[in-house]
Chain A
Amino acid sequence: MSHFITQEASISLAWATPGFTGNPATSDYFDLTLGHNDLGISSTNATTLSLPAGTYHVRATLGGTKPTEGSYIDYQWELDGSTVGNRAGWDTNAGNDKVTTEYAEAVFSITSATALRLLCNLAAGANVIQDEYSGVVIRGAAL
């Protein structure tokens, strides 16, 4: 005899607003300010979120102003000190013309509280991040 058990994969949500004071440079981390938060995420400091155990999809986009055609930023998620997911960035025609996604995304599972940061991989020029064009959506579920 088989018994069928319905298990709902309940997904919860959080929002964070990325920002940066000044002009982000290579190896800087972007500030992450929590908004809506159904996931029990906490802020360790201005640039670090502590995610409880679970499975996650994180998505970040950064908007702002770039002073020249060739200026750009390139960014990626960093989980527990290691980069994860795809690199995203701003369009540029400096050296090698590049049109790319502005969305940095990653999917991962963690078994204990883990630090999540948004890393500026590369930067050229005096770029300025604008909060109203930037956002982070975190979808999470229990393991």
Chain B
Amino acid sequence: MTFVPIKTSNIAGGFYSGVGAVSLSAGTVIKPQTEQLFGQSKSFSYNSTTGVFTLNSSKTYVIEADVMTTWNSTTPRFYITYGFFDNTSTEISDSSRGSVRGYRPDRYYQSYTLISDETALAVIDGSSVSSFTWEIIATQANVSTVFTADSGVGSSSYSTTRCRLYIREY
């Protein structure tokens, strides 16, 4: 008699993109419109109208998110920061903010000192946080500038990167 182990994963998850060409400013809730699922059947849900992810109280989650932006002024120096907030608008405690900075590293660091990874990261225990949103925390630029998500035009037309969020459920 032979016993053959079949290993399965306890992971479910989703990839969220398609934010669209929306303006980004402090307090903007980022609302991906496209959902692609992977792994086991998920027990969280996502409302693309509100941008709210609702979590299962018996699960724990790893969240990653990046912002891609373009800007409408000539060669600004800028940064945008973003992170995750619960349903009381409190920033998730076990999280780190991400930032995008520009428009060139050498010029950026002549004006600003902030550095971080582009990816915002969090571990969320569904038993203590029932839902979260992905939000812009601050925008800062040396000239008046409108930041737009995902437009793919202007100074960043070479980039095919788009705003995206991964959620992994354990």
Contacts and interface: CB of A to CB of B under 8 A. Distances in A.
Interface of A: 1-15, 17, 35-36, 38, 61, 63-69, 90-91, 93, 99, 101-103, 130, 132-135, 137, 139
A134 B60 CA distance: 20
A38 B99 contact: no
Contacts, number: 122
Contacts of A10: 10
Nearest to B83: A132
Q: Is the interface of B mostly helix, strand, loop or mixed?
A: strand
Nearest to B110: A69
Interface of B: 1-11, 60, 62, 81, 83, 91, 93-97, 99, 105-106, 109-110, 113-117, 119, 121-125, 170
Contact of A66 (B4, B11, B115): B115
A133 B4 contact: no
B115 A91 contact: yes
Contacts of B109: 66, 68-69, 91, 93
A139 to B, nearest CB: 8
A36 B94 contact: yes
A132 B100 CA distance: 15
A77 to B, nearest CB: 16
